[in-house]
Amino acid sequence: MTDATKSEPKVDSTLSKGLSILENLAAAQKGKGVTELSKELGLTKSNTFRLLQTLTALGYVEHRSDKSYAATLKTWQVGRASVENLNLRELSAPELSHLSQETGETVYLAVRNNLNVIYIDKIDSQKPIRSWNAIGGTAPLHCVGTGKAILAADYPNLRDQISGALTQYTEKTLTDLDALDADISATQSRGYAFDTGEFRDRIVSFGAAVTLQSGEPIGALGISLPDINLPEDGVEFFGSLIMHAARSVSEKLGRM
């Protein structure tokens, strides 16, 4: 037996299968049944059913009235606790405050959860016409500023996954992979993402990724506002603000 073989950790197959079910449900836009899950994950229906019962009993999955299963907020709470252990909210607080003061618009801190972003912190706009989304709210990666910023920072790894999930939400949503490729390339070149109203009509957003020293994105800062509030030179101004704010948080992470 080689040293490499000795050092290989043993993987508990039941735990691995249970986590694969939980990850699948957390990434899904709607609930899934036992048959659908078993086919997607290559598990037997009886095994899938037993694991779902365990996850339901532990509070990570709910069994809905239509007999489908869906991940609960407990999954998000565990992920949120992991993010908070990195002090990401605390580290980002000064930058969020600065962005709020400079723009007067709603600003967010978001992290990726499979093919979505989850908003883990925010400062609301005080303007009469404003954008709004709750802490704990989610949005698809491919059509909001924070999501597209995270995509751009890890596109080689995420491109194949996102290619089959380009759901349309507005007339401006990028549902063609070539169009998304071009948009991500533009994001990488200028240093920030711009959502032109791709998730909600007439709501635009900007995003820039917060990264570790390795370049791996662990979140993104965002600004969201109704297009009527965007000044004539607003795209470059807001884009520059969000880019420098995210860079500042990334630099603080690098010093930890």
pTM of the model: 0.69
Q: pLDDT for 2-47, tens place per residue?
A: 444 455 667 788 899 999 999 899 877 688 999 999 999 999 999 9
Question: What pLDDT does residue 193 have?
Answer: 98
Question: What pLDDT does residue 83 have?
Answer: 58
What is the mean pLDDT of the segment spanning 131-141? 87
Q: Which two tokens stand for residue 113?
A: 């959860």
In the structure, what pLDDT confidence band is assigned to residue 128 with cuts at 50, 70 and 90? Answer: confident
Q: Which two tokens stand for residue 41?
A: 């994950």
Question: What pLDDT does residue 5 have?
Answer: 47
Amino acid letter, 95: E
What is the mean pLDDT of the segment spanning 136-154? 95
Question: What pLDDT does residue 1 have?
Answer: 45
Q: Which two tokens stand for residue 129?
A: 């016409």
Break the chain down into helix, strand, coil percent, rounded to 5: 50, 20, 30
Q: Which two tokens stand for residue 32?
A: 């899934």
Which residues on adjacent β-strands are paired with residue 117? Answer: 112, 139
User: Is it the case that residue 131 has pLDDT exceeding 90?
Assistant: no
Interatomic CA distance for residues 78 and 208, integer angstroms: 24
Q: Which residues of 207-231 are buried (b: 16+ CB within 10 A; e: fewer)?
A: bbbbbeeeeebbbbbbbbbbeebee
Q: pLDDT for 220-243, tens place per residue?
A: 999 999 999 998 889 999 999 999
Q: pLDDT for 37-80, tens place per residue?
A: 999 999 999 999 999 999 999 999 999 989 999 988 787 677 66
